[in-house]
Structure 1
């Protein structure tokens, strides 16, 4: 409320002959136990008012009552000045919101942001950790769009390296020509199966070597499978046709599987980058860094950077045999992305186990003088845990994304049918509803938590229609659409100025926050800000709906139309807000 800030500055000048900056005026939402809408913190003004906080607040309140038509009343509680904003102000704000296309979304601000998320390895299917990554990245990108940024969503696929060669080698040795078609497995699941097989066979070889007296660290290096995998990686980098053909075939299987999972999750990308295309550019940057003295070469020909003066350590950027490491590839990818998009900010959505890696990467890019280094940001998020015994993956160690999605849809079906809410739905409508509710529950439960926090995902808790859940908000939206359908009208004309009751007033105030909530969520890269706002909005609407008749014949046409318009805007905001979280809202439930 900029006008309150400006009039408070004016009041301080007139009453106390003191010039203050806007930053000196602190506004807060009035606590619910007190009357008022906006609270001004007056304690900083007492040093030049030369009076008590209560007297200072009372003087400013009296000035605002006389000079600001929007201020209807005030009260002072222990030096805090609580202002009651006139109903006419809130009615006007409501009308502006109703007449603003895409209310809440900001105009383009001229800034370009890239959000990189998903970043899967092509040696295994997507799992629960990837689910949080994908949902978080997609939502952050949509929120940034809503805040006025020009956003590019990209996926960096980790399609090369020793871990990829492990799956390839295991398939070559133990696969007997098995394919997705012959096995009936999704391609990513089939390749993941051979990654597990490699690990099992590798451990057998380590144990056999240890039984002969070889130390464990040496056994890991001497195991024939690991030596073969490293040789395969070297052949890959040298362009060996047989290895490259095998790599293309198995990666092709994986990409088909990934695309199916992405479609189920409802996430997408504007561009894909592949580390197989970026590691060579990374090697060029290393040569550039050697010439600049940023990197140094050790006697074994490996290349390093010394970050001890920055409080870190020495970091390997190229192996002695000339093969690249993750840092090599990430430097190349960063350069390539900037060349393609010239973005102002580059957001990396990666789990917090990589905090150190990104600290080093951004430091290296700064030392190399890369202009895009200052706009780089690591959106570090916590891991996701499950209550034990809730779900088990095929491998027994990680929760497969496809299994999780199906489990949520199945849980949605069981819960919804038990409530008897779909008796009048046909089979196709039921399938769509269960999908929307199941995925809405999954997405909301994950995104309502601050990204930085480790979280527990409980599938049964997430599906509750009455708790702090996605289905509760979806149900609130469906309730609104039911009211609007029953009204049989879309022309909700009502008078210019009129008194509001407490529920109407609080609902308008909640709606009025939506644009600033989007900006706050964008500034903090946090879908949780949107999620928690929508929950409070849905609660406010349900209270309003319960206590205020809308379609009953005894209410006036004015009140009927106003409350219908209030319902419509609430529904629009819920739909837009849930859309920013990648969540669909059913028209009926």
Structure 2
């Protein structure tokens, strides 16, 4: 039991003993730097259970805690805040327990409590772009955090490999491609296909302009443009199983999948199970029929099927068109149910999708609950804001997106330029330098995106993200590398246990251990909030605390051997925790910088 849990138990006991009142919880905060103490009980929330002077209640509880917890040496009350001083021996004993625990902070996996996390889910008509980067980084990190918190996790995506947008790329390649392939052009397959999506839009706009010039209203021109009509016909042929169209679709999608795989490998994410819209787009129709019979859905006069969500403060939602064709909602209902069949141990799913789909997921989750699926209450939409660049908004069909591969290359180049300016890489081979630039560049990109609460919009500045000062990935990585340098210079055995050795703690050592003590709770908090930002900002706080310790306390220069061993061990544990936390964010740490 950590000290906070112990204090909470005793505060509840004390409140019952002193006032004959049970309280459900206790609020804590870190003690302010200008007061003596290690942890603070906030008294004000307790006034709703016991009216009185908060200072007097604080005094009563402080006295009770000193008498009943031998690790609390003294207390002071400032207004409604009870500041508690914890004996050094508690922190030393605690540190000795975690010093060599390689899984510190992680909870053993509960195989009966699985979660599925969906992320990426791209269209196969273009490469992954900056928006996908935020999506995959969030989804992957949340999956890793849920694992660390004790859940079994399946990582998945549904690849949007069918529809009119796919046919636009296919048609443009057929008309203008002259047999180009990834091999003949040297382009990644997803980039080649994406070029033809842009080409379609360019030629389509020309046709619209010509029709408008001949007197056709613009709305009619968009529908009558020969390219658009041909793309619609190609989609109909695909749905009818036309051999030539299906063969073209398989070839071009195959190019895209290979391109995606390269990008995913470079960015460092993976999946356990892939779903394809071409296999799932007909799912859900049978469920709609069952729901009609059970009164979950109703049919309108034109034969369309709807779900009435007005009692839940929403509106009526179409789930089947009057001609019997499915809408996206139908497909998503069917896919969720199919996944629950494929993975019966899954108790909940996380959908990593942009905030423009907030309403869609509210409706989807409500409908699945109405259909009687118990796991539907454990569904979560990991909604996130847009990523903007100083240059403005991105548009795929106009070719103005920031390509994910190009972005990663730019980040590596930026890291190279800044590292060369700093001139700290003497003795590195060219190969080692290039590997380090990639680790720094990708670390900068990932940290910049993940340190922000998912719901917030981001203005991404590549140059600022690679700054070696401030709340950045390279700043944290540099601190890790600094500690590795300390460990390399330690020419003595520091692996032994200091259990039973009395070590008087420096204020900075105590603060650092208190920061380490929070790590398990931080992982649980990040998991319950589906927020990698909690991990990122904790790591930054830990690094700031270490740097303050480093500047105020002699480590290798300490004369007392026990103290020196303790400080090296403490430094190593900080480094291990940085590495552990950054792994949850999908970020590597370099041994040297």
Task: Quickly name the TM-score band, shorter chain normalised.
Answer: over 0.9
The correspondence for 1:11, drawn from 14, 38, 59, is 14
**Counterpart of 1:465?**
468
**Counterpart of 1:408?**
411
Residues in 1 aligned to 2:134 and 2:45: alpha-carbon distance in whole angstroms: 44
> Kindly tell me: are residues 281 and 388 of structure 1, through their superposed partners in 2, closer, same or farther at Cα, counting changes over 3 Å?
closer
> Kindly tell me: are residues 322 and 198 of structure 1, through their superposed partners in 2, closer, same or farther at Cα, counting changes over 3 Å?
farther
Q: CA deviation at 1:408?
A: 0.2
For each residue in 1:269-302, what CA deviation from the matched residue of structure 2 results, as whole angstroms up to 9, or x when unmatched? Answer: 0111101111122333334344445445667665
SS in 2 for 1:35: coil
Residues in 2 aligned to 1:158 and 1:463: alpha-carbon distance in whole angstroms: 34
Deviates more, 1:291-300 or 1:60-69: 291-300
Return 5+ residue gaps in structure 2 as ranges: none
User: Is the aligned partner of 1:432 residue 2:435?
Assistant: yes
**Counterpart of 1:326?**
328
SS in 2 for 1:327: helix
> Kindly tell me: are residues 388 and 500 of structure 1, through their superposed partners in 2, closer, same or farther at Cα, counting changes over 3 Å?
same
The correspondence for 1:272, drawn from 267, 271, 274, is 274
> Kindly tell me: are residues 536 and 269 of structure 1, through their superposed partners in 2, closer, same or farther at Cα, counting changes over 3 Å?
same
**Counterpart of 1:88?**
89
The correspondence for 1:445, drawn from 448, 451, 459, is 448
User: Is the aligned partner of 1:163 residue 2:168?
Assistant: no
**Counterpart of 1:286?**
288
Deviates more, 1:319-328 or 1:190-199: 319-328
Task: Tell me if the contact between 1:117 and 1:134 (Cα under 8 Å) persists in the aligned partners.
Answer: yes
SS in 2 for 1:273: strand
> Kindly tell me: are residues 327 and 65 of structure 1, through their superposed partners in 2, closer, same or farther at Cα, counting changes over 3 Å?
same
SS in 2 for 1:66: helix
**Counterpart of 1:578?**
582
Deviates more, 1:257-266 or 1:36-45: 36-45
The correspondence for 1:361, drawn from 340, 364, 373, is 364
Task: Tell me if the contact between 1:265 and 1:439 (Cα under 8 Å) persists in the aligned partners.
Answer: yes
User: Is the aligned partner of 1:373 residue 2:376?
Assistant: yes
Task: Tell me if the contact between 1:123 and 1:163 (Cα under 8 Å) persists in the aligned partners.
Answer: yes
Deviates more, 1:466-475 or 1:380-389: 380-389
Task: Tell me if the contact between 1:6 and 1:22 (Cα under 8 Å) persists in the aligned partners.
Answer: no
**Counterpart of 1:117?**
119
For each residue in 1:20-65, what CA deviation from the matched residue of structure 2 results, as whole angstroms up to 9, or x when unmatched? Answer: 1342x33222223222122223345568877532222222212222
Residues in 2 aligned to 1:12 and 1:558: alpha-carbon distance in whole angstroms: 41
**Counterpart of 2:550?**
545
**Counterpart of 2:534?**
529
For each residue in 1:78-115, what CA deviation from the matched residue of structure 2 results, as whole angstroms up to 9, or x when unmatched? Answer: 13211111111111111111243410111223411000
**Counterpart of 2:184?**
182
> Kindly tell me: are residues 254 and 320 of structure 1, through their superposed partners in 2, closer, same or farther at Cα, counting changes over 3 Å?
farther
Residues in 2 aligned to 1:376 and 1:442: alpha-carbon distance in whole angstroms: 29
Residues in 2 aligned to 1:517 and 1:159: alpha-carbon distance in whole angstroms: 38
Deviates more, 1:229-238 or 1:422-431: 229-238
Residues in 1 aligned to 2:52 and 2:337: alpha-carbon distance in whole angstroms: 60
Residues in 2 aligned to 1:85 and 1:221: alpha-carbon distance in whole angstroms: 74
Task: Tell me if the contact between 2:23 and 2:49 (Cα under 8 Å) persists in the aligned partners.
Answer: no
Deviates more, 1:337-346 or 1:486-495: 486-495
Residues in 2 aligned to 1:216 and 1:390: alpha-carbon distance in whole angstroms: 25
Q: CA deviation at 1:235?
A: 1.6
Task: Tell me if the contact between 1:29 and 1:38 (Cα under 8 Å) persists in the aligned partners.
Answer: yes
For each residue in 1:122-154, what CA deviation from the matched residue of structure 2 results, as whole angstroms up to 9, or x when unmatched? Answer: 000000000000000000000000000000000
Task: Tell me if the contact between 1:493 and 1:562 (Cα under 8 Å) persists in the aligned partners.
Answer: no
**Counterpart of 2:388?**
385
**Counterpart of 2:566?**
562
Residues in 1 aligned to 2:38 and 2:120: alpha-carbon distance in whole angstroms: 42
SS in 2 for 1:21: coil
**Counterpart of 1:517?**
522
The correspondence for 1:224, drawn from 209, 223, 226, is 226
SS in 1 for 2:381: strand
Deviates more, 1:331-340 or 1:222-231: 222-231
For each residue in 1:441-494, what CA deviation from the matched residue of structure 2 results, as whole angstroms up to 9, or x when unmatched? Answer: 000000000001001111111111112100111111111111111113342443
Count matched residues: 586
Residues in 2 aligned to 1:309 and 1:390: alpha-carbon distance in whole angstroms: 38
Q: CA deviation at 1:395?
A: 6.0
> Kindly tell me: are residues 314 and 201 of structure 1, through their superposed partners in 2, closer, same or farther at Cα, counting changes over 3 Å?
farther
For each residue in 1:351-400, what CA deviation from the matched residue of structure 2 results, as whole angstroms up to 9, or x when unmatched? Answer: 01111221222233233333432221111000101122999999651100
Deviates more, 1:300-309 or 1:49-58: 300-309
Q: CA deviation at 1:185?
A: 1.2
Q: CA deviation at 1:304?
A: 4.4
> Kindly tell me: are residues 319 and 168 of structure 1, through their superposed partners in 2, closer, same or farther at Cα, counting changes over 3 Å?
farther
**Counterpart of 2:506?**
501
SS in 2 for 1:344: strand
Residues in 1 aligned to 2:151 and 2:48: alpha-carbon distance in whole angstroms: 42
Task: Tell me if the contact between 2:348 and 2:379 (Cα under 8 Å) persists in the aligned partners.
Answer: yes
> Kindly tell me: are residues 170 and 319 of structure 1, through their superposed partners in 2, closer, same or farther at Cα, counting changes over 3 Å?
farther
Task: Tell me if the contact between 2:503 and 2:562 (Cα under 8 Å) persists in the aligned partners.
Answer: no
SS in 1 for 2:228: helix
Taking only aligned residues, the RMSD between alpha carbons, in angstroms, comes to 2.3
Deviates more, 1:103-112 or 1:564-573: 103-112
* 1:58-73 alignment runs, 5 A limit: 58-73=59-74
Residues in 1 aligned to 2:417 and 2:332: alpha-carbon distance in whole angstroms: 45
The correspondence for 1:195, drawn from 191, 197, 203, is 197
Task: Tell me if the contact between 1:349 and 1:378 (Cα under 8 Å) persists in the aligned partners.
Answer: yes
Q: CA deviation at 1:327?
A: 2.2
- What TM-score comes out, normalization by structure 1 length? 0.94
Q: CA deviation at 1:226?
A: 1.9
> Kindly tell me: are residues 275 and 152 of structure 1, through their superposed partners in 2, closer, same or farther at Cα, counting changes over 3 Å?
same
> Kindly tell me: are residues 420 and 94 of structure 1, through their superposed partners in 2, closer, same or farther at Cα, counting changes over 3 Å?
same
> Kindly tell me: are residues 321 and 10 of structure 1, through their superposed partners in 2, closer, same or farther at Cα, counting changes over 3 Å?
closer
- What TM-score comes out, normalization by structure 2 length? 0.94
SS in 1 for 2:115: strand
**Counterpart of 1:477?**
480
Return 5+ residue gaps in structure 1 as ranges: none
**Counterpart of 1:153?**
155
